[in-house]
């Protein structure tokens, strides 16, 4: 929201600036901000402590808790909710419009929070392989998805799942299943990767009829495993673009991978001093196909990269520059990664 923040103390209470304040809160609503993020953004906008409380929902939030409490300007919302600003001096000209939009945003976002909690149980049922087809269909219809219509399931890890929902549109629904969010969406924008916050990883399952959501969910989790292969690689991976890699991830079990000598050699290499650094170099080399490009990617001198590669070749027992050598190394790194990133 940095690009949306205004210096309220420098604005007059005219129509143009009122519209800017309204737009500020509209964007918070469109971005599905959490109640905590709403309070924090309002305090930044107003340049004073701000708070939100709703006893019926068990919510009490205040931003800038270290700041001295001043005179409260309060606005009610819903039946039991309150929002407020705390100023030690006189109210600013736009405080009234800020409070009005703060209260409106709180009403909308808290209602969405309630709906999301209801949706979470439905999403969990939809992606569960153990659910009966009739139960799955009822859950889909409760969220206004037609069971026979195409539906993507996404696996979202790290970062801000709410921002991903905002990028997918108002119809998207989500549930936290352990450290990964399962997200249902009718469509996935082609530029989702460019609209994904830093630190967020996404695996995208194929579009299947809603009744096939468990299969799309399995595929999404499999695709998610490929988002942590190395720095500079995609943070958003579509399962239907993995090709043969999808079959490798689906078929090979950890006990199968344990039988691969090249993977065992990589484990021994990783256990040596500076082993993690050597593995990072190997990943960069496979991704770029060049000693110099690998050096640029990991910010090392190319002579250091050459030495690391030579050392790894001796440990693994084959040349990375021989015909098929880089492919063999790439496959060994992939198998080791899949072993350590269970779907």
Distance CA 316, CA 311 (A): 9
Distance CA 194, CA 184 (A): 19
Query: pLDDT higher for 181 or 233?
Result: 181
Distance CA 316, CA 309 (A): 10
Distance CA 284, CA 288 (A): 6
- pLDDT band, residue 308 (cuts 50/70/90): very high
Query: pLDDT higher for 68 or 214?
Result: 214
| 33-37, 157-161, 301-305: range with lowest mean pLDDT | 157-161
Average pLDDT score, the chain:
87
Looking at residues 81-91, what average pLDDT do you find?
90
Residue ranges per domain, the chain? Answer: 2-111, 128-250, 254-340
Contact 249, 338 (CB under 8 A): yes
Q: What topology is assigned to 254-340 in CATH?
A: Arc Repressor Mutant, subunit A (1.10.10)
pLDDT at res. 88: 85
Distance CA 177, CA 277 (A): 33
| 90-104, 157-171, 211-225, 303-317: range with lowest mean pLDDT | 157-171
Distance CA 134, CA 126 (A): 10
* pLDDT 10s digits, 32-66: 788 899 999 999 988 899 999 998 888 899 988 66
Looking at residues 188-197, what average pLDDT do you find?
86
pLDDT at res. 230: 60
Query: pLDDT higher for 22 or 11?
Result: 22
Can you list the positions of beta strands (E) in the chain?
50-54, 59-63, 71-77, 81-87, 150-157, 173-177, 180-185, 201-204, 208-209, 236-238
Half-sphere exposure at residue 31, Cβ-oriented, CA atoms within 13 angstroms = 19
Using the 8-state DSSP alphabet, how is residue 194 labeled? G
Q: Which residues pair with 52 in a beta bridge?
A: 61, 83
Distance CA 328, CA 6 (A): 55
Angle between helices 291-298 and 275-288 (to 10 degrees): 120
* pLDDT 10s digits, 121-134: 899 999 999 999 99
Distance CA 54, CA 75 (A): 12
User: pTM surpassing 0.85?
Assistant: no
pLDDT at res. 282: 93
Dihedral sign for Cα atoms in the order 54, 57, 58, 59: negative
Q: Which residues pair with 245 in a beta bridge?
A: none
Encoding tokens for residue 11? 């604005």
Percent of the chain scoring above 90 in pLDDT: 49
Contact 297, 284 (CB under 8 A): yes
Domain 128-250 class in CATH: alpha beta
Which of 60, 65, 52 shows the shortest CA–CA distance to 101?
52
Looking at residues 329-338, what average pLDDT do you find?
92
pLDDT reading at 117 higher than 70: no
Contact 266, 250 (CB under 8 A): no
pLDDT at res. 194: 83
C-alpha distances out from residue 101 to 1, 61, 86, 104, 299, Å: 16, 17, 16, 5, 48
- pLDDT band, residue 231 (cuts 50/70/90): low
């Amino acid at each position: 929201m940095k690009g949306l923040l205004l210096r309220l103390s420098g604005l007059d209470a005219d129509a143009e600036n009122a519209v800017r304040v309204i737009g500020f809160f509209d964007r918070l609503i469109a971005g599905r901000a959490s109640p905590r993020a709403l309070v924090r953004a309002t305090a930044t906008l107003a340049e004073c402590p701000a708070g939100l409380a709703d006893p019926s929902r068990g919510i009490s939030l205040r931003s800038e808790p270290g700041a001295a409490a001043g005179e409260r300007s309060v606005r009610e919302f819903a039946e039991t909710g309150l929002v407020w600003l705390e100023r030690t001096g006189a109210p600013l000209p736009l405080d009234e419009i800020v409070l009005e939009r703060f209260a409106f945003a709180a009403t909308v976002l808290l209602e969405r929070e309630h709906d999301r909690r209801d949706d979470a149980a439905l999403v969990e049922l939809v992606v569960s392989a153990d659910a009966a087809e009739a139960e799955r269909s009822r859950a889909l219809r409760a969220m206004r998805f037609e069971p026979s219509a195409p539906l993507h399931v996404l696996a979202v890890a790290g970062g801000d799942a709410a921002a991903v929902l905002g990028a997918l549109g108002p119809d998207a629904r989500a549930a936290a299943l352990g450290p990964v969010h399962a997200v249902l969406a009718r469509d996935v924008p082609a530029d989702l990767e460019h609209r994904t916050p830093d630190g967020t990883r996404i695996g995208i399952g194929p579009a299947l009829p809603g009744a096939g959501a468990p299969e799309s969910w399995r595929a999404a989790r499999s695709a998610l495993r490929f988002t942590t292969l190395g720095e500079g690689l995609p943070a958003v991976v579509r399962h239907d673009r993995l090709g043969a890699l999808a079959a490798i991830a689906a078929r090979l079990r950890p006990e199968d991978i344990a039988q691969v000598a090249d993977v065992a050699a990589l484990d021994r290499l990783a256990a040596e001093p500076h082993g993690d650094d050597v593995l990072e170099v190997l990943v960069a080399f496979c991704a770029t196909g060049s000693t110099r490009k690998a050096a640029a990617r990991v910010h090392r001198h190319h002579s250091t990269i050459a030495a690391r590669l030579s050392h790894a070749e001796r440990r693994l027992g084959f040349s990375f520059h021989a015909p098929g050598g880089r492919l063999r190394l790439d496959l060994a790194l992939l198998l080791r990664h899949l072993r350590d990133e269970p779907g």
